[in-house]
């Protein structure tokens, strides 16, 4: 089986690649060929002796999507895109990459003209939702995004569903909750603190908490995100069509509960490295975000996620820190 990953150099893309290399299979078949593309050439995965192509490719450029599918990958994970903050700051870039790039990929598949009908798993986001919200967002909830990023994700979801309904491809839209703990350096995303208040203290560094302890959000680990994408590719089509865009489950908790979990997993000293320093801009942005995702349909479909925030922290310690942290 040949698998194409767009956005393969990103955090989820790299972890998905590692998982496919480890599993060496997908949908009950062996994975013999990987094509990894991103705006910068992704790293070659170590330990994969079969055929791998890595390439810098911008799907928004003419002809690039056609080239990406030229060898007819059976499964495509479409993760490419610019993130929320960047799509909001740069209108043209957001629509170009997230909308035109995604549409170009769908159109290249439609125009293949040789019976090609791949599985296309798309990483969408709970940013397709916009306030005001009920206590928990049900699967039937309206799409009223309040960012350009959420708008672009919702548009590709709609097209993916229509192309699926028309028999052009087999789409699955995976609406991700907030993915924590993101490894690496802090970034400027407004949501960065959800990872930062766990990652930095575990590395022995102070972290700033810019919102109140009572903020509620829904989280899943990067490992769960990869699991969602793989399960999305493997689900029998009759279980999800025609409503192929699915809101994932997650651990719904307050920031205060996140911090208590950190204290349980890593001790008082680590949890005390969090400094409370409210930032009115971040408070306002976070106020408009979805809080609790019900994710009932996804759970019934077998998508699984951590049960507690403690587990999410342990995944980070295990997967990104080699089991050790600065106590």
CA–CA separation, 128 and 253 (whole Å): 20
Annotated catalytic residue within 95, 129, 149, 163:
149
Helix (H, G, I), strand (E, B) or coil at 1: coil
Minimum CB distance to a second copy smaller for 96 or for 199: 96
Stretch near a second copy under the rule CB under 8 A, chosen from 15-23, 114-122, 208-216, 238-246:
238-246
Q: Determine, following the binding rule CB under 8 A, whether residue 141 of this chain makes contact with a second copy.
A: yes
Stretch near a second copy under the rule CB under 8 A, chosen from 16-24, 147-155, 208-216, 218-226:
147-155
CB contact at 8 A, 173 and 167: no
CB contact at 8 A, 255 and 215: yes
For the chain, the first-to-last Cα distance in angstroms comes to: 44
CA dihedral 176, 180, 182, 188 (to 10 degrees): 80
Q: Determine, following the binding rule CB under 8 A, whether residue 204 of this chain makes contact with a second copy.
A: no
Stretch near a second copy under the rule CB under 8 A, chosen from 132-140, 219-227, 274-282, 306-314:
132-140
Q: Determine, following the binding rule CB under 8 A, whether residue 242 of this chain makes contact with a second copy.
A: yes
> What residues have CB less than 8 Å from 96, skipping those under 6 apart?
60
Closest approach of Cβ 269 to a second copy, in Å? 44
Closest approach of Cβ 64 to a second copy, in Å? 20
**163 given a catalytic annotation:** no
DSSP string, 242-268: S--EEE---EEEEHHHHHHHHHHHH-H
Q: Determine, following the binding rule CB under 8 A, whether residue 112 of this chain makes contact with a second copy.
A: no
Minimum CB distance to a second copy smaller for 87 or for 198: 87
CA–CA separation, 271 and 147 (whole Å): 32
Where do contacts with a second copy occur on this chain (CB under 8 A)? 91, 110, 130, 134, 139-146, 148, 151, 154-155, 158-159, 161-162, 165-166, 242-243, 245
Report the catalytic residues: 149
């Amino acid at each position: 089986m040949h698998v194409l990953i767009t956005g393969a150099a990103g955090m989820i893309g790299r972890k998905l690649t590692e998982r496919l290399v480890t599993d060496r299979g997908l949908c009950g078949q062996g994975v013999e060929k990987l094509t990894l593309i991103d705006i910068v050439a992704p790293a070659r995965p170590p330990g994969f002796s079969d055929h791998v192509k890595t390439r810098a490719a911008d799907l928004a450029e003419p002809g690039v999507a056609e080239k990406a599918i030229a060898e007819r990958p059976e499964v495509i994970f479409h993760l490419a895109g610019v993130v929320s903050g960047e799509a909001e700051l740069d209108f043209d870039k957001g629509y170009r990459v997230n909308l035109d790039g995604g549409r170009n990929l769908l159109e290249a598949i439609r125009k293949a003209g040789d019976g090609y009908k791949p599985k296309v798993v798309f990483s969408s986001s709970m940013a397709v939702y916009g306030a005001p919200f009920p206590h928990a967002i049900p699967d039937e909830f309206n799409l009223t995004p309040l960012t350009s990023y959420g708008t672009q994700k919702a548009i590709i979801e709609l097209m993916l569903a229509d192309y699926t309904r028309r028999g052009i491809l087999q789409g699955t839209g995976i609406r991700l909750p907030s993915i924590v703990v993101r490894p690496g350096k802090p970034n400027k995303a407004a949501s960065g603190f959800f990872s930062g208040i766990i990652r930095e203290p575990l590395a022995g560094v102070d972290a700033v908490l810019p919102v109140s302890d009572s903020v509620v959000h829904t989280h899943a680990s990067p490992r769960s995100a990869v699991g969602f994408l793989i399960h999305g590719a493997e689900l029998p089509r009759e279980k999800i069509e025609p409503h192929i865009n699915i809101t994932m489950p997650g651990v719904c908790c307050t920031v205060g509960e996140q911090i208590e979990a950190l204290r349980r997993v890593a001790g008082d000293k680590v949890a005390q490295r969090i400094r409370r320093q409210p930032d009115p801009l971040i408070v306002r942005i976070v106020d408009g975000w979805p809080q609790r995702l019900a994710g009932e349909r996804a759970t019934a479909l077998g998508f699984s996620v951590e049960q507690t925030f403690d587990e999410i922290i342990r995944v980070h310690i295990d997967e990104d820190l080699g089991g050790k942290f600065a106590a």
